Amino acid sequence: MGNWERFVWNQRDALLAGLQVTLEICLIAFAAAFIGGLVLCLLRVYVPALRPAAILLTEFFRATPILVQLLWVSYVWPDLIGWPTTFYGAACVALALQSSGYLSETFRGAIEAIPHGHLEAADSLGIPAWRRFLRIVLPQVLIEAAPSLGNQFTVIVKSSSLVSVISVADLMFQSQKIVNMSYEPIEILTATAAIYIVIIFLISTLNKTLADRLRRRYALGRR
C-alpha cells in the first residue's frame, strides 16, 4: 500500500495534468477528423474530378501506422510547410489524419445505405440538391454512423498514448516520467492502464446509449 500512495496518489497532480492533455488532444483530433473525413467523403461521392485524390488520401491515411504519421508530421511537415510549430499541434494533426481516413469510409457507407426512395422523393418535390443533403442525407448519415463514430473516438484515445514519443506531456508521458524517477513500474503503469480502461468504458457506454436512443427515436432498426 505504501508504494501505491507514494507513486500513484502522491503523483496525482502530474497524472491529472497528463490526463487533461490526453483528453484535449483526443477531442481536438476527433473534431478535426470528423470534418476531414466528411470532406473526403463528399469529394469522393459528389465531385468526380477530385475522386482519385480523395481516394488516394483516404487510403494513405488509413494505411500509414500512427507512429509513422506522428513522426512524419512532427519532423517533416515543419521543414516542408513550416507547420505545425509545436509537438502538441503535431499530435493533434497526426491523430486527426489517420482517423479522417476511417471516418471517410464510415460516412461513405452511411450515404450508400440511404434508401434511394428518399432521394427520389426529394427530387420529385423539386428540393434543391444542397437542401436535400442538409435535410435528408446528412441527418441519416450521422445517425447511421453514430456507433462507428464512438468506436473511432476510442481508437483515438488508445492511439494518443503514442504521442509521448514526441514529448507531448500526456498521461503516458507523465507515467513514464514517474517510472523513470522511481524505478517502480508496477503501480504507476497499472494505475495508468486502469485510467485508460475507465475512459474507454465511459466512452463506449455513452456511445451505445446515444446510438440506441437515436435508432429507437428514428426507428432505424426497422429497416
pLDDT of residue 221: 46
| Tens-place pLDDT, residues 99-123 | 999 999 999 999 988 887 887 787 7
**Are 85 and 78 a contacting pair, CB within 8 Å?**
yes
CATH architecture classification, 2-222: Orthogonal Bundle (1.10)
- Model confidence over 189-212: pLDDT tens digits? 999 999 999 999 999 999 888 878
In the predicted model, is pLDDT for residue 214 greater than 50? yes
Predicted local distance difference test score (pLDDT) of residue 213 = 80
Going from N- to C-terminal start, the domains of the chain cover 2-222
Determine the Cα–Cα distance for residues 218 and 212; give it in Å rounded to an integer: 10
The better pLDDT of the pair 125, 168 is held by: 168
pLDDT value of residue 219? 57
Report pTM.
0.90
**Helix-strand-coil percent breakdown of the chain, rounded to 5?**
90, 0, 10
Count of CB atoms within 10 A of residue 112's CB? Answer: 10
pLDDT tens-digit readout, 2-17: 677 777 878 889 999 9
Which H/E stretch holds residue 61? helix 51-63
